Amino acid sequence: MKTMTKRKFQNRLNDLDSKTWLKFQKSWFIHNPPPRRKDVLRHPAKFPESLAQEFIEFFTKRGQIVLDPMVGTGSTQIAALRSGRHSYGIELNPNYAEIARQLIDEERKNLCETVESLASLVITGDAGKFSELAAKFEIPLIDYMITSPPYWNMLHAKGSKTQENRRSANDLDLFYSDNPDDLGNIDDYDQFLDQLVDVYESIKPFIRPRAYLTIIVKNVKKGGMVYPLAWDLCRRVGKIFQLKDERIWCQDDLHLFPYGYGSAWVSNTFHHYCLQFRNE
């Protein structure tokens, strides 16, 4: 009788142990990042390196290539360096791109020889012209994309005057830029959604087959209405890449405000959707 030998398990997705893998599979998580450094406070909506690193380490192996087409001040690329991955970032605002380069250079010095062979290129440009940038800068096939786009023109909405006054007094940006090509400056919701989805579709030929993408967003409240940005992206981007799942990032370290107190239900929104797609 022929003896069947059990095939040795091979983790083809990442370098994690089974316990870390299982913990990441929970559909929600709490992540309270450390305080932001003064030199990156200028960006009004930066997401934390520690969060990006967890996703990068789950969806890639060491030495693979990570893309953030709206990299801001470089959170994704710093996380990629710490994880031992190559990275490419696109940023429309030249001031943020320069801050990202400076922070990446500092991180390289801190990590010394462990990152000498890793690429971490910040490209000043429009992600909507990704094919041109990919050809010009010879961006290789991408193994994983993680990004957090503008939450429509949410930064232009009437909000907390206290926060606006505090940021203005400290010479910090209230908006991403005054560039008309900036998606965060588009007033029409459907037009914003169309252009954002076009960006992701233009990147598709440069994503490795069966590679994952993570888009971090939340739904937008404006003028007494809720615009389901996360859910609209699931529907629209799901026609380009296969929607696989979501993880809900919960924040429990934020201050509560009595919106609509005594008259209406208005929630304090302390969660984001981390939408998972795959390039099938």
Domains and CATH numbers, the chain: 41-278 (3.40.50.150)
Q: Would you state the pLDDT for residue 80?
A: 97
Instruction: Say what the pLDDT of residue 105 is.
Output: 95
* pLDDT at residue number 45: 57
Residue segments in the chain with a per-residue pLDDT below the cut of 70: 1-6, 36-46, 155-177
Over residues 135-177, the pLDDT tens digits come to 999 999 999 999 999 888 776 566 544 444 444 444 455 545 5
pLDDT, residue 224, reads 84
d(CA 232, CA 235): 5
**What's the token pair of residue 79?**
């996380």
How high is the pLDDT of residue 238?
A: 97
AA letter at 190:
D
User: What is the per-residue pLDDT for 39?
Assistant: 57
